Each structure stands twice: as structure tokens, then as C-alpha cells.
């Protein structure tokens, strides 16, 4: 059941952009984009609405059926660190973690049993040894399959990072236990400045440059396209979606969302497995209620 708050409707602004988190939001738990959701997205695009993924994933990790969906041109990736124009093959905006800070994050997280990742130019690099025991870090088969199929395996992520000596879109660590995740999170938070820490899972840390988040990302793209904050609708379910739900003119959390995301949102829709995105777009956009 959709919870509705009416204060946003008093702005009189029509929605011109819809930003969509993927995992736990647009996609079902089996990583499926349903036929009903496809139809709703198509109808929104036909009305001239800019529809885009806003994800923690690198560009190469966005499913083709999403990124190549007719009318989808832009993507906010790596939690807002990189905004891309797929049609023109251009990077519209980027703000990366410095080499020095990325190195410190990897050193701290590397002390724990964790799958380490860095993102370069829209590609995620992961240690092959960790991929070989992926079930220890990501027990859910659909999520594990996504990581396995979209990451570029390397022998040692830290060695790769130190060899390149370049900034990175995002550093991620997925831990074998939530306890280790909490310990590493606090250590990173206490010892490294000028970074943004968030997570989409109960056992991961995602580190971006200071001030980088999906909320800033969608506002930046809106500014580029001449779309005002009040004209942006956003959907999410995780901790890394809270800034986006707060910043959007209409932020909608899924019923399966974490409490932080629900608290940041204006609305709560059905779960990702109940096609909550489609239900909310139909109710508040296609029916002309927003």
C-alpha cells in the first residue's frame, strides 16, 4: 500500500525526471525488470520525462535492458561520482576518490576478510580469489551472479591501485561478517578525511569523495538539463539512496527499504518484488496527480 503525503503536491510542479536505484528498487530480488515496469517506463518516456538509473554500480554493471531501454540516455553511476550521457558517449560530471584516500581505505578494509573493489572508467575491478569464494560475501545468488558477470578479475586490487596511482570513482569492500563491516566502517570514518561513506548492503562499505552522493548527482544532472529539484522524482531502498530521496522533489522509498531510506522519503510504495516503482509512477505521474 502506498503511503501518501500531500505537501509536495502543493508546489504545482510536474515531474520531468525520474531517477531509479536498481537493486532492491527497480529490479526484483531476482534482478528482473518486469514487463509491467517496462510498460510504465515506456509510457513515462513517451510523456517526455527523463528516466535514468541512479546507482552505486559502475556503468558496466548496469543491465543492458536498463541502459539500452528506448529513451534512456543518462545514468548517475558509482553513487553520483560519474554522470554519463550514453547517447554521446560523454562524461558529464565526475568527482573521484583521491589516490591517497583510496589507498588508506584499501589498507584498512584489507585487514579484514573482505572482497575489495575499485572502479575505473565505469569498470569494477575485483580480486579473483574473492570471486572464487563469492558466496562467503554475497550469499544471495542473483546478487552474486551480478558481481561475477560484471567485474574484471585481477590478482590483487591493492597492487593494481598502487600501480595505477590514479583517483577512482569508488572503493568498495564487502565483508564476510556484519561485525567486521561495522569495525572497518568506524576505522575508515575515524582515520580518513574528505570522503563519503555509505552502503547498499548490511555488510558493505562504499567510499566516495567528500560530498559525492546520488542526491547531488541527480541535482547536477537536473541543472545540466534545465530541470528543477521540484520536478525530480527518485526511488530507492538503501542507505546509499537516502541523500537522493531527501534531495528529490518527490522521494519514494520501497516498502522493503531500510528505515533510514524510509525516513528520508516523502512516500513509501510497494516492494521491489511487488513492482512498487510501476505502482508509484502510475499513481503520481501517469495519472497526473503530481
Phi-psi region of 55 (alpha: psi -120 to 50; beta: other; left: phi over 0): beta
Pairing relation of β-strands 232-236 and 17-20? parallel
Each residue's pLDDT tens digit, 112-144: 999 999 999 999 999 999 999 999 999 989 889
Which segments of the chain does DSSP mark as H helices, in order?
35-46, 64-67, 99-109, 128-131, 141-150, 157-164, 178-191, 214-225, 242-247, 259-264, 276-281
Calpha distance 166→4 (Å, rounded): 45
Contact yes or no for 225/203 (Cβ under 8 A): no
**Residue 287: which pLDDT band, with cuts at 50, 70 and 90?**
low
Cα–Cα distance list, 154 to 118, 125, 127, 128 (Å): 11, 7, 5, 6
pLDDT at 12: 56
Each residue's pLDDT tens digit, 39-76: 999 999 999 999 999 999 999 999 999 999 999 999 99
Calpha distance 66→53 (Å, rounded): 8
Each residue's pLDDT tens digit, 193-221: 999 999 988 999 999 999 999 999 999 99
Sheet (strand 74-77) strand order: 74-77, 82-85, 90-94
Quick one: average pLDDT of 76-89? Answer: 96
Contact yes or no for 131/153 (Cβ under 8 A): yes
Calpha distance 241→237 (Å, rounded): 6
Q: Is the dihedral of CA 21, 271, 142, 72 positive or negative?
A: negative
Each residue's pLDDT tens digit, 19-40: 999 999 999 999 999 999 999 9
Q: pTM of the full predicted structure? A: 0.91
Each residue's pLDDT tens digit, 249-284: 999 999 999 999 999 999 999 999 999 999 999 999
Say how far residue 168 (Cα) sits from the centre of its chain.
16
Comparing 249 with 3, the larger pLDDT belongs to 249
Each residue's pLDDT tens digit, 171-186: 999 999 999 999 999 9
Comparing 288 with 43, the larger pLDDT belongs to 43
Pairing relation of β-strands 82-85 and 90-94? antiparallel
Interior/surface letters 60-92, b for 16+ CB within 10 angstroms, e for the rest: ebbbeebbebeebbbbbbbbbbbbbeeeeeeeb
Amino acid at each position: 500500500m502506498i503511503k501518501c503525503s500531500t505537501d509536495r503536491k502543493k508546489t504545482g510542479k510536474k515531474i520531468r525526471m525520474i531517477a531509479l536505484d536498481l537493486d532492491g528498487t527497480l529490479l526484483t530480488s531476482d534482478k528482473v525488470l518486469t514487463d509491467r515496469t517496462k510498460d510504465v517506463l515506456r509510457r513515462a518516456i513517451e510523456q517526455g520525462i527523463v528516466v535514468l538509473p541512479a546507482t552505486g554500480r559502475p556503468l558496466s554493471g548496469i543491465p543492458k535492458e536498463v541502459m539500452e531501454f528506448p529513451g534512456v540516455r543518462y545514468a548517475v553511476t558509482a553513487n553520483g561520482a560519474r554522470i554519463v550521457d550514453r547517447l554521446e558517449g560523454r562524461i558529464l560530471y565526475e568527482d573521484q576518490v583521491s589516490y591517497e584516500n583510496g589507498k588508506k581505505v584499501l589498507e584498512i578494509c584489507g585487514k579484514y576478510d573482505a572482497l575489495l573493489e575499485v572502479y575505473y572508467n565505469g569498470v569494477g575491478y575485483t580480486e579473483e580469489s574473492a570471486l572464487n569464494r563469492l558466496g562467503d560475501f554475497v550469499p544471495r545468488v542473483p546478487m552474486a551472479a551480478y558481481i561475477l558477470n560484471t567485474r574484471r578479475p585481477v590478482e590483487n586490487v591493492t597492487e593494481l591501485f598502487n600501480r595505477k596511482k590514479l583517483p577512482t570513482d569508488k572503493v568498495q569492500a564487502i565483508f564476510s561478517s556484519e561485525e567486521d563491516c561495522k569495525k572497518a566502517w568506524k576505522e575508515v570514518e575515524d582515520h580518513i578525511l574528505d570522503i563519503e561513506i555509505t552502503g547498499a548492503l548490511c555488510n558493505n562499505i562504499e567510499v566516495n569523495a567528500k560530498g559525492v552522493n546520488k542526491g547531488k548527482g541527480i541535482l547536477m544532472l537536473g541543472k545540466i538539463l534545465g530541470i528543477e529539484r521540484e520536478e525530480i522524482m527518485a526511488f530507492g531502498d538503501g542507505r546509499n539512496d537516502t541523500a537522493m530521496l531527501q534531495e528529490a522533489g518527490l522521494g519514494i522509498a520501497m516498502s522493503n527499504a531500510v528505515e533510514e531510506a524510509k525516513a528520508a522519503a516523502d512516500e513509501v510504495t510497494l516492494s521491489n518484488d511487488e513492482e512498487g516503482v510501476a505502482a508509484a509512477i502510475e499513481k503520481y505521474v501517469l495519472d497526473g496527480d503530481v
